[in-house]
Structure 1
Amino acid sequence: MSEDSKLPLSRRKLLGTAAVIGGAGALGGAATTSLLWDEEKFGNADNPNVLQAGELDLKVDWEGTYYNWIDNPTFSSNDVEDPAVVVEEGPNLVDQPGPIINLQDVKPGDVLEVTQSAHIFGNPAFLGWHYEEHADTDNGITEPEDKVNGHDPDQSDGTEDGDLDEYLQVVIWYDDGDNLPDEVLPDITDGDGNEGDELVIDEEEYVMDVASIQSAADAFGGADPVVYAGNLAGLDGANVRFDARDSNSGAVAEEFPDTACYQNSVTEYIAVLVWLPTDIPGVNDNIVQTDRLEFQFGFDAIQCRHNVGNDGLPMDDTIADADAENNANSPEGGTTTPDPT
């Protein structure tokens, strides 16, 4: 090749030509290039990864006696396996799904004792109890003077509502499950000095002793096993958190020591005494005639995990929200829980 036939190529032009040739080669080989890839999986259809929510289940049983000075009928959660079961001449019970106690003829001197057992299954939990009144009324006029003067039936005695809850006395305490009030009435014996599980109470003497107490707060306030002592009106809207450290039967959760949290798979016994004193202090016994009181009470449980920081308090806010949601979505519907504040 002669010198005249040579094309003047600079270094920049040579690099540019090489780039074009390389690009063409890449394009030309794309149709035959193999695709290389890799994959890692954790779990498959035969051995999948699993996330399962925790479980918390609360079961409640009860057993009680209504001392009416006639036949002292007993009742228990076993009585309401069939919703049609009614305890004759005692508290009428309906399964809905807990006990509904219907006392039609409460008299001064009557005593109601109920031992309730709460069983926690699944996770450790804080345990609580709530009471809410739905109706409190004079339920008619029994005084003829008021009827003649045209007074409102619910103000027949000068008050705006019923008075039964003001005079019904109540004490709630940590029990050992024996349906005996020896924790709060330690002086009760069977005459032979027996105590505890060997104690055999003379029912008539027992009822007379309780019914003669005019003030539960004065008689039982401050005692170690007592959760509440006072009149029934003082419980309205209350949300009580129980404390496993004070229990006579439950146990503190091993995972959450030094807290009020209950170990799962244990039972807590809470006993309740309610009575109308034989001598209502300061007023004529007629003030409670025909009064009607409608209420509900129940146990509450909330898991301890994530609630230990405040030792499960306040239970009322959490439980009230959950209770309102459950009631709204229940088949009955329409039942609301009041603002705990």
Structure 2
Amino acid sequence: MNDDTIGLSRRKMLVGLGAVGVASAGAGLGTTAYFNDTETFENNTLTAGSLDLFVHVDYSEDQGSYAQYSTPSGSFINGNVVGQLDDGEVVTQEGDGLSIQVSDLKPGDSGEGEFCFSIVDNPAYMWMCGELTANDENGETEPESDDDETPDTGDLADAMEVTVSYCTPDGDGGNVIGDEIVSGSLAEVMLALQAGVPLSGDGDASASLADRPAFEGVTEPFVEGTPNIAEQCVCFTWEVPTSVGNEIQTDSVMFDFEFFAVQSRHNDGTHNPCVDETVVTAYDNDWKGQTLGNPTDGNVYTSVSFGQNQTVLSFAFADDGDGVDFLDTADYSSTNFPVAVDADADGTHDWQLIWQPNAGFPDAPFGYQPNNGGSYGAAEPLPAGFSAAKVGNTIVFGIPNSDINSTFRLLGYGSTGGEGPVAKVNDDPAVGPDFLDSSDAVEFSD
């Protein structure tokens, strides 16, 4: 709401109304006089405010002697409008957003980009989202087939190295790089972004999820032909290392970036606009009435994102800020988080995905266990196409859509080894987990 105009009431306010007596004159005739006064408050209005996000983009790439590219100066995106500044004048055109396209990619090529924000009229919580929409092989050349161990899947998403960080303009056309937000292969970074990454208005990558610093609002996106931006920007870099060989020949990737601004007034910043559904459960410090040596409070936000090629499960652990963190092995040496998944919602869990940093798993700290007719064996490497990452206090699993239905069930049971709370994600947190029967699991549906 906008507080510039305030509506009091449509009812008229009468002040000083009163009868002061009746006087008679003549036989049988009476005259009456009333003093009165009316004060009127007219045309009262309540006007809704607005929130409009402009993303200012500065992107360039270096392909050596083959090609150099950069976005036109002053490029920005506002909805489906792409624009640039031309001699201080804003020039726009309708479109489907800004597209980065690189051809003839080779080892040693790199690129970097900067995203800065004008959030017009209201301060807002910001989220960065994304998705890897294609990772294609596109056939194989003879030298590629000699080196490629995954001939049915593109290798470029795993070969590219990506870093996303906070940054601030240095005033000379460059940036001061701040805290790292997420890094890894392109596949790993896009896995994290599909789960949604909350951004902090003060550039603190360790800021808590709830009530983190918002991004300040501005009155207009441009002032005298210059972008009017919040202090914190987001920078990303990508590189194909020179150590990469023939396995990426002819391969291609496609991916999307998105930024969401959600007004900060009357919100705590925990709503994740990048995902399709979220379930919130509180840590249990009183499971079976046990006395804990190191209790702590918090919530686990279980979210599901249904993508074009994969379904992403994310578990964000939001601690209460007392310095004790559920996923920190320095606080809980035995902390772990297994997730049982009934991929077809038929009543029986099909497999488990496990995060356990001190277990010595083949894909440490992650493991996979199939349900072998009512029992789970030793942890195995993640199956082909599966992926996993820990980003800050969030654990993320990527599952190919071919391995999970659009309706499925999951059950999570985080444990701190008896020292602290448990984190249960099931339909009735008052009961314990059943890793075989999914009747008490939480069901999600696209």
TM-score (normalised: structure 1): 0.54
How far did residue 182 of structure 1 move?
Answer: 5.2
Compared with structure 1, are the counterparts of its residues 144 and 225 closer, same or farther at alpha carbon in structure 2 (3 Å cutoff)?
Answer: closer
Matched, 1:168 2:195: no
How far did residue 321 of structure 1 move?
Answer: 5.3
Partner of 1:259: 212
Instruction: Report 1:1-341 matches (<5 A).
Output: 47-70=42-65, 71-76=67-72, 78=74, 96-143=95-142, 157-178=149-170, 180=174, 183=177, 225-236=179-190, 237-246=194-203, 259-265=212-218, 266-267=229-230, 268-280=232-244, 285-308=245-268, 312-315=269-272, 318-320=273-275, 341=313
**Structure 2 counterpart of 1:243, one-letter code:** S
The 8 Å contact of residues 57 and 75 in structure 2, kept in 1 or not, is answered as no
Q: Secondary structure at the match of 1:279?
A: coil
**Structure 2 counterpart of 1:230, one-letter code:** G
Q: Secondary structure at the match of 1:234?
A: helix
How far did residue 258 of structure 1 move?
Answer: 6.7
How far did residue 157 of structure 1 move?
Answer: 4.2
164-173 vs 136-145, greater mean Cα deviation: 136-145
Compared with structure 1, are the counterparts of its residues 83 and 262 closer, same or farther at alpha carbon in structure 2 (3 Å cutoff)?
Answer: closer
Distance 2:47 2:82 in 1: 35
Distance 1:121 1:80 in 2: 14
Q: Secondary structure at the match of 2:247?
A: helix
Q: Secondary structure at the match of 2:241?
A: coil
Distance 2:309 2:198 in 1: 17
How far did residue 134 of structure 1 move?
Answer: 1.2
Higher helix share: 1
Distance 2:121 2:201 in 1: 17
How far did residue 74 of structure 1 move?
Answer: 2.0
The 8 Å contact of residues 60 and 71 in structure 2, kept in 1 or not, is answered as yes
The 8 Å contact of residues 126 and 303 in structure 1, kept in 2 or not, is answered as yes
Distance 1:84 1:307 in 2: 31
How far did residue 172 of structure 1 move?
Answer: 1.0
Query: What 5-or-longer segments of structure 2 have no aligned partner?
Result: 1-37, 85-92, 219-228, 278-306, 314-446
Distance 1:49 1:336 in 2: 49
Partner of 2:414: none
Distance 1:84 1:261 in 2: 26
How far did residue 243 of structure 1 move?
Answer: 0.7
How far did residue 96 of structure 1 move?
Answer: 2.9
The 8 Å contact of residues 175 and 270 in structure 1, kept in 2 or not, is answered as yes
TM-score (normalised: structure 2): 0.42
Please list the CA deviations of residues 32-58 of structure 1 after superposition, one character each: whole Å capped at 9, or x if unmatched.
xxxxxxxx9986xxx333232221110
The 8 Å contact of residues 320 and 339 in structure 1, kept in 2 or not, is answered as no
Compared with structure 1, are the counterparts of its residues 77 and 83 closer, same or farther at alpha carbon in structure 2 (3 Å cutoff)?
Answer: same
Distance 1:42 1:337 in 2: 63
Please list the CA deviations of residues 282-324 of structure 1 after superposition, one character each: whole Å capped at 9, or x if unmatched.
xxx111111111111021111112322xxx1242xx34459xx
How far did residue 245 of structure 1 move?
Answer: 2.6
Compared with structure 1, are the counterparts of its residues 121 and 339 closer, same or farther at alpha carbon in structure 2 (3 Å cutoff)?
Answer: farther
Which one has a bigger Cα radius of gyration? 1
How far did residue 171 of structure 1 move?
Answer: 0.9
Compared with structure 1, are the counterparts of its residues 108 and 161 closer, same or farther at alpha carbon in structure 2 (3 Å cutoff)?
Answer: same
Higher strand share: 2
Compared with structure 1, are the counterparts of its residues 55 and 319 closer, same or farther at alpha carbon in structure 2 (3 Å cutoff)?
Answer: farther
With a CA cutoff of 8 Å and minimum separation of 6, indicate the structure with the bigger relative contact order.
1
Number of residues paired by the alignment? 216
Distance 1:105 1:74 in 2: 16
The 8 Å contact of residues 195 and 274 in structure 2, kept in 1 or not, is answered as no
Distance 1:84 1:118 in 2: 14
The percent identity for this pair of structures is 27
Please list the CA deviations of residues 91-144 of structure 1 after superposition, one character each: whole Å capped at 9, or x if unmatched.
xxx963421011111110011011111111121100111110111110112127
Q: Secondary structure at the match of 2:158?
A: helix
Compared with structure 1, are the counterparts of its residues 230 and 338 closer, same or farther at alpha carbon in structure 2 (3 Å cutoff)?
Answer: closer
Q: Secondary structure at the match of 1:271?
A: strand
